[in-house]
Homo-oligomer: A and B are copies of this chain.
C-alpha cells in the first residue's frame, strides 16, 4: 500500500511519526511545502523539510517542534556580534543542514536532490519531496504591508491584522520530480493536521496537484483546528482573517471538492453532521498527538476511515 501525505511542518511531522509505525515507512511519501523557505545570512533554510526529516529521524527538539534535540546556539551568539540576522534561531547542529543545502544548491543540485541526500543521511526511509524545485515564497499582508511568512510568524510573532496571503512564484512553479507520480500512485492521500492556508494551499496550487487530488477517491484530511484553535502555528488567525470559520467545518470549506474523508477531534463532534452534509465522510477521534501511542492511533484511525469504507 502506498500512502502520500501533503505536509506542512510540526503537525504533519508528528502525524508522520505515527504513520510510519503503522505502515512500511518506505511506502510513505511526504510532499512538503516550501513556501516558508527563506534565505538568511546567505543560507538557504527549508523549515518544513527539516522539521519533517528531523521528526522522522527521531532527532527533533520535540518541545519546540523544530531544530535538533540538545542543540547549542554558539554560532548564533557569535553572529550577533557581526550584525548578522539572528531573529531566526539556528542551532549549531541545525546549521550543518543549511550549510549543506546551500553548498549543494550553489553547485547546481536541485532542492529535491539535496532533500533526497539529506533524508538518507539522517537514515529516514520515508521519501521526502519538496513540492517544487522552483522558488515559491509565501507572503502575508499585515496591516497594509506584504511581508515574508517568516517575518510574520517569527519576527512579528503573528501579531497584526492579516489582510491577505499570497504565494509569489506559484504560477510558474513546476512540481518537483516525483510529486505527480507519488499522488497518482497513492492508494490513499492524507492531509495531516497542517495549516490549510499557508502549508497546504501552496502545495495544492502547484501545477497539476489539485486536479489529481480532486479526482482521487481516497483523500483524507485531519483537522488542524481543535476546539476553535490550532495546536501550533497561526492557522486559526489566518483562517479567521480570510473569512473562514475557525472550526473543522472551516477547514472542510478550504478543502471542499478535494477531500472525501475528514478526521476531527472528539471535542468538535458537533461539526460531524455539518461536514457530512458537504459530502465528506467524518471520523471522530482524539487528534491530540501527545506521545507516540496517540500518534500511532491517529494515523491508524485516519487510514481506516479512508480505506475501510472501500471494503
Among A71, A78, A83, find the residue whose CB has the most chain B CB atoms closer than 10 A: A78
- Contact present for B96 and A75 (CB under 8 Å): yes
Instruction: Give every chain B residue within 8 A of A43 (Cβ-Cβ).
Output: 99
Instruction: Give every chain B residue within 8 A of A71 (Cβ-Cβ).
Output: 74
**Residue from B68, B75, B91 in contact with A93 in the complex, judged by beta carbons closer than 8 Å:** B75
- Contact present for A82 and B97 (CB under 8 Å): yes
Judge whether A88 is part of the interface by a CB distance below 8 angstroms: no
Instruction: Give every chain B residue within 8 A of A106 (Cβ-Cβ).
Output: 42
Among A41, A75, A81, A95, find the residue whose CB has the most chain B CB atoms closer than 10 A: A75
Q: A102 to B103, alpha carbons, bound, how many Å? A: 11
Instruction: Give every chain B residue within 8 A of A91 (Cβ-Cβ).
Output: 74
Q: A187 to B117, alpha carbons, bound, how many Å? A: 57
For window 42-78 of A, CB contacts with B under 8 Å fall at 42-43, 68, 71-72, 74-78
Judge whether A100 is part of the interface by a CB distance below 8 angstroms: yes
- Contact present for A99 and B41 (CB under 8 Å): yes
Judge whether A87 is part of the interface by a CB distance below 8 angstroms: no
Q: Select from chain B the residue with minimum beta-carbon distance to A71.
A: B74
Judge whether A79 is part of the interface by a CB distance below 8 angstroms: yes
Supply 6 A–B pairs (Cβ within 8 Å), ascending by A.
A41-B103, A72-B92, A75-B75, A75-B93, A77-B93, A78-B96
Nearest 3 Cβ contacts at the A-B interface: A42-B103, A78-B96, A74-B92
